[in-house]
């Protein structure tokens, strides 16, 4: 939908609650079954794990955005999930309830690259990383980085991505050709790279990443875990090789997404909270939405690391 005030405007995706097929975007998940999904709409993308609202610049004011959303979905509970703390604060400052929904992890890239990253870790975390690297060396795995273009082994990458999907969804049956089509489109995006883990010259793992602005964004990951040698490549593919690539590109951080927060924290990641904000008209709807947000925050799929204090507000 387009929200416009004078010459300022913003285009926002809007999805009926019952049509949000990805569970992490479904109202039953976001509000922990406290509000019927048919009474909700979801603002933002329907896949991925990040949502940004157009605040600042030529974007409409916060009040105009809220007014436009309410005009588009009168009487509905409007959910804005996976917002950063800064975006969520724009809405909670006007009295709208928010609840913690996930943690996103970042690896900051020091000026000295991987060696400095390793030196900045605590003794126990540095020992963990070195153990990861020893496992990789012992199994004979090597890594290489290449631009995601017509020269990249798209068929091999697609095969590995399908294996990853099947690991978490036994019913997954979509052909690897669909990934080839998607990867071909990605190849047209500036800053697209693939990190390959190789065994005896063959690709056995991959990580598709994008360099955009000052950040390296991880996107697609796959490993052939039928080979025992490849299981040790996970942390190098997910953390260490992207960090090395980010340093070579002059990026300041690697965004490594949500889930497995404890594992990421042990390897030096910085965790930032993501929030769901609910716009609801009427005290009853607002109270039920607030209760749902609180329930979800107390029962996140990704357990809160013991060393982190859960924030109650953005």
Say whether both 195 and 134 belong to one domain.
yes
Beta carbons of 83 and 283 less than 8 angstroms apart: no
pLDDT of 49 reads 73
Q: Is residue 59 part of a domain?
A: yes
Say whether both 153 and 238 belong to one domain.
yes
Q: Is residue 304 part of a domain?
A: no
Give me the domain span that covers residue 139.
Answer: 110-251
Q: Is residue 90 part of a domain?
A: yes
pLDDT of 199 reads 93
CA distances 156 to 39, 222, 307, Å, are 44, 10, 40
pLDDT digits (tens), the chain, 314 positions: 556 555 566 678 889 999 988 889 999 999 999 999 999 999 988 777 778 876 555 566 788 888 889 988 999 999 999 999 999 999 999 999 999 999 999 999 999 999 999 999 999 999 999 999 999 999 999 999 999 998 999 999 999 999 988 887 788 888 999 999 999 999 999 999 999 999 998 999 999 999 999 999 999 999 998 888 887 888 999 999 999 999 999 999 999 998 889 999 999 999 999 999 999 999 999 999 999 999 999 999 988 888 888 888 88
Q: Is residue 262 part of a domain?
A: no
Domains in the chain, number? 2
Structure tokens at 38: 């048919």
Say whether both 130 and 98 belong to one domain.
no
Say whether both 158 and 37 belong to one domain.
no
Say whether both 117 and 95 belong to one domain.
no
Strands across the sheet containing 253-258? 14-16, 40-43, 77-83, 270-279, 98-108, 253-258, 215-223, 202-212, 192-199, 142-147
pLDDT of 226 reads 87
Say whether both 293 and 238 belong to one domain.
no
CATH of the domain at 239: 3.40.630.30
Q: Is residue 311 part of a domain?
A: no
Q: Is residue 198 part of a domain?
A: yes
Q: Is residue 247 part of a domain?
A: yes
Say whether both 242 and 119 belong to one domain.
yes
Say whether both 41 and 162 belong to one domain.
no
Q: Is residue 279 part of a domain?
A: yes
Say whether both 150 and 173 belong to one domain.
yes
Q: How far apart are CA 10 and CA 54, in angstroms?
A: 7
Beta carbons of 222 and 243 less than 8 angstroms apart: no
Q: How far apart are CA 221 and CA 16, in angstroms?
A: 30
Say whether both 18 and 67 belong to one domain.
yes
Q: How far apart are CA 43 and CA 51, in angstroms?
A: 9
Say whether both 66 and 137 belong to one domain.
no
The pTM of this model reads: 0.87
The closest alpha carbon to 117, from 231, 212, 246, 307, belongs to: 246
Say whether both 99 and 115 belong to one domain.
no
């Amino acid at each position: 939908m387009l929200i416009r005030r004078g010459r300022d405007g913003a285009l926002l995706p809007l999805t009926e609650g019952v049509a949000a097929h990805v569970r992490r975007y479904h109202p039953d998940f976001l509000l922990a079954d406290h509000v019927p999904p048919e009474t909700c709409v979801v603002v933002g993308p329907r896949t991925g794990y990040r949502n940004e609202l157009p605040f600042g610049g030529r974007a409409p004011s916060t009040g105009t955005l809220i007014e436009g959303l309410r005009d588009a979905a009168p009487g509905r509970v409007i959910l804005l999930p996976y917002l950063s703390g800064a975006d969520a604060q724009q809405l909670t400052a006007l009295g709208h309830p928010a609840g913690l929904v996930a943690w996103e992890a970042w690896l900051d890239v020091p000026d000295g690259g991987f060696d400095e990253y390793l030196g900045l870790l605590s003794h126990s975390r540095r020992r963990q990383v070195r153990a990861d690297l020893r496992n990789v060396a012992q199994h004979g795995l090597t890594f290489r980085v290449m631009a995601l273009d017509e020269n990249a082994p798209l068929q091999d990458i697609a095969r590995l991505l399908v294996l990853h999907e099947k690991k978490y969804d036994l019913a997954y049956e979509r052909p690897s050709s669909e990934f080839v089509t998607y990867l071909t489109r990605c190849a047209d995006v500036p800053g697209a790279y693939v990190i390959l883990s190789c065994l005896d010259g063959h690709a056995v793992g991959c990580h598709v990443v994008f360099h955009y602005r000052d950040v390296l964004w991880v996107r697609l990951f796959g490993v052939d875990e039928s080979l025992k040698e490849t299981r040790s490549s996970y942390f190098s593919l997910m953390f260490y090789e992207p960090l090395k690539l980010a340093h070579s590109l002059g990026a300041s951080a690697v965004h490594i997404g949500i889930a497995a927060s404890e594992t990421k924290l042990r390897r030096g990641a910085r965790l930032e909270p993501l929030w769901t904000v609910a716009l609801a008209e009427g005290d009853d709807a607002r109270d039920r939405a607030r209760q749902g947000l609180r329930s979800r925050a107390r029962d996140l799929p990704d357990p809160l690391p013991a060393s982190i204090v859960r924030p109650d507000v953005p």
